[in-house]
Structure 1
Amino acid sequence: MTGLPQTELLPAHPVARANDVDEAHEAVTRTYLPHRLEVLDRGTDLDMRLNAVRMGAVTAGYLRYGSAVRLGTVDAGGYHVNIPVTGRCEQRCGASEPVFAGPGRAAVFMPGHPADLRWGAGCAQLCLMIERHELELELERQLGRPLGERPRFTTTMDLDTPAARSWLEVLALLEREADRPGGITHHPAAAAHLQSLVIAGLLLAQPSNYSDHLHAPAAPAPPRALRRAVELIEDEPGLPWTSSTLAREVSISVRALQEGFQRWFGLPPMAYLRDVRLTRVHDELAVADPDGTTIAGVAARWGFLHAGRFSTAYRRKFGGLPSETLHGRHPAKGR
């Protein structure tokens, strides 16, 4: 199981449909990186399909070949994860053992190493590419210190671990929202947060030379750092804060920030931010002109882009609907 739909992904973002080898090669090179493409079965149509979306430092693409092919690269500039959606693919990063990717198993590739992929006929994969610089920055934020060496992941990814399943849920969200008109990937603040979730999720889910450090207890956050984090949230709740950017601003690790908020406020920093934003929405609606104000517009200004989830959170906090606040029909609760 991959946790992803067993159908064509990202259909709203087509890049290429090709039976011509040169056309297929050019499309994948343009989207990902230079490579060699060899068709192993000339008796079957190539029937290559590529859909892809780029979100900051993350490129996610659905790549399928109808015939058996072999792909090779000299090296890669970023980190890559190939997650089979249908079929199987034998994949190797550098001199490591081959990964026989299929249901429940993905392949991970490091920058600076060649790759060799033997793609089975009809195999489709979600191919993820993450810029090296951004992944290493995210790792530094998680650790709260500069890196001593480049991150090295194990090349086989077990998709059935709890951490991997959680990460796949993030990728499924990315895939759904990228295809949804007006989805969160189209809004810079939400897209930045989702990019951080994708990268941090990989760092936490996949074993690497930093796993022991990532899972070790974090040093307690200094109270002054937590106070400053709260000030930043209260003063500028409309900024596209993530746990990573907030931790960087107060010069502590992401884990120290998260554990500090949980210890002192009883909730994670992003939940604290959501609570502040809900209060700002409530305050704005309470004094707004009902004839010239839309709830969706006010909510979007404060970073709430999913109407259903926003309404549920709002009602849980204030005991009524946003429309009731706008029309002055219920008192403030839970402020």
Structure 2
Amino acid sequence: MASSHRELLTGHPVARAADVDEAHDAVTRLYLPHRLEVLERDTALNMTLNAVRMGAVTVGYFRYGGAVRMVTADAGNYHVNVPVAGQCEQQCGSLEPVLASTNRTAAVFMPGYPADLRWQADSAQLCLMIDRHELEFELERQIGQPLAKPLQFTTAMDLSTAAAQSWLAVLELLEREIDRPGGIAHHPLAKARLQMLVIAGLLLAQPHNYSDLVSAPARPAAPRAVRRAVELMESEPSRPWSSGALAQEVAVSVRALQEGFRRSFGLPPMVYLREVRLNRVHDELLSAAPDDVTVSVVAGRWGFLHHGRFAEAYRRKFGCSPSATLRS
């Protein structure tokens, strides 16, 4: 996240609490049962919680003005806490403690373990809760087989790695668009894409006990599976497709599908889908009246989350800007 601290998710306030019981109740309702203790006497709690739930992903901004300790019940889902100000010592069960600090280290928590968090005064975190079944299901789609044992992440996330930086960029996009009135995160297709980027990105960004399988070379999917995936994208391009969802539909692993597309078309399935969607945007802009729609609305309807990159891809494909097509 950004190095300068600003309050996040301001458009989705949940609680402003000076009272421990009020703060406890708000977090318990949204996340999980816990015990909250103020560590310094005569220090104001001043808890801020802004949060939103998007399907399988809950994302919240927490800030405590005073130093506090939070001890949770056994978690039912996966959690990731990304510091945006100060430090927080955090421990998942009896695993190695993590000193989470801004721009350096985040903390990852697994289901079935309690968490013990000691927040410094005036510290803040972006706290994600990811549905256990959805995350494990996505992992099964990536490796093409059922999980033989529970998914276990390394508890400390090094935020300086390229993979972690890419994942943080997804979180920044998510946070920005959630708070933008009428933004793409409010469109069902874009919302599903953002959620899947968070889930799949975590599996790629953070080491876990299936990382070797995720990164191992894969045999390419058979041509019939690739053809079926193409048919699905061509017939339903507005669906919130991901490589995992396509792989599930055609009964192959994500890596096999990607290798099959590389051999057949020289590009990944999601790039192929982008080309299909660019064609649909082009057709819609050609047939629309400029006073009836905007380019951003049409682009968002077809799953383009970043207007600048969309406009560049559109110009590269059609030789003109999307706004020029709409005016024509």
Can you give the 5+ residue segments of structure 1 that lack an aligned partner in the other structure?
329-335
Match of 1:24 in 2: 23
The amino acid of 2:231's aligned partner reads E
Question: SS at the partner of 1:224?
Answer: helix
Q: Which residue of 1 aligns with 2:319?
A: 319
How far apart, CA to CA, are the structure 2 residues paired with 1:149 and 1:172? 32
Question: What is the CA-CA distance between 1:284 and the residue it aligns to?
Answer: 3.4
RMSD, aligned α-carbons: 1.9
- Residue of structure 2 equivalent to 1:60: 59
Counterpart of 1:264 in structure 2 is 264
Alignment of 1:3-82 (within 5 A): 3=2, 6-82=5-81
Alignment of 1:106-121 (within 5 A): 106-121=106-121
Distance 1:327 1:64, change over 3 A: closer
**Residues 249-283 of structure 1 deviation map (CA, whole Å, 9 limit, x = unaligned):** 11111122223223322222122111111112223
Amino acid at match of 1:217: P
- What is the correspondence of 1:139-150 to structure 2 with a 5 Å cutoff? 139-150=139-150
Residues 95 and 157 of structure 1: is their aligned pair in 2 closer, same or farther, counting only changes over 3 Å? same
5 Å-filtered alignment, 1:201-280, equals: 201-280=201-280
1:11 deviates by 1.2
The answer to whether the 8 A contact 2:68-2:120 is kept is: yes
Q: Distance in 1 between matches of 2:236 and 2:88?
A: 47
- Which consecutive aligned stretches of 4+ in structure 1 deviate over 6 angstroms post-superposition? none
Bigger Cα displacement from structure 2, 2-11 vs 241-250: 2-11
Q: How far did 1:233 drift? A: 0.9
- Counterparts of 1:309 and 1:205, CA distance in 2: 23
254-263 vs 72-81, greater mean Cα deviation: 254-263
Q: Please say if 1:124 is aligned against 2:120.
A: no
Q: Could you say if the C-alpha distance between residues 5 and 191 of structure 1 is closer, same or farther in structure 2, counting changes exceeding 3 Å? A: farther
> Matches of 1:113 and 1:237 in 2, distance apart?
40
- Quick one: which amino acid aligns to residue 75 of structure 1? D
Q: Deviation string for 1:32-88 (max 9, x for gaps)? A: 111000111121110101111111100111101111111111201100111111111
Q: How many residues align?
A: 327
Shift of 1:320: 1.3
1:106-149: CA deviations, max 9, x gaps?
A: 11111011111111111111111001011111101111111111
Q: Is the 8 A contact 1:80 1:130 kept in 2?
A: yes
Identical pairs, percent: 70
Once residues 276 and 92 of structure 1 are traced to their aligned partners in structure 2, the CA distance between those partners, rounded to angstroms, is 46
Give the C-alpha shift of residue 204 in structure 1: 1.2
Deviations 1:179-204 (A, max 9, x none): 11122221111111111111111111
CA distance in 2, matches of 1:305, 1:98: 36
Describe the SS at the equivalent of 2:96.
Answer: coil
The answer to which of 297-306 and 84-93 deviates more is: 297-306
The one-letter code matched in structure 2 to 1:86 is A
Counterpart CA distance in 2 for 1:120 and 1:287 is 57
The TM-score, its normalising length taken from structure 2, stands at 0.94
Q: What's the offset of the Cα at 1:285?
A: 3.4
| SS of 1:16 mapped into structure 2 | strand
Alignment partners' CA distance in 2, 1:285 and 1:327: 8
Q: Structure 2: which amino acid aligns with 1:182?
A: G
Cα distance in structure 2, aligned partners of 1:165 and 1:290: 38
Question: 1:96 matched to which residue of 2?
Answer: 95
* Bigger shift: residues 277-286 or 145-154: 277-286
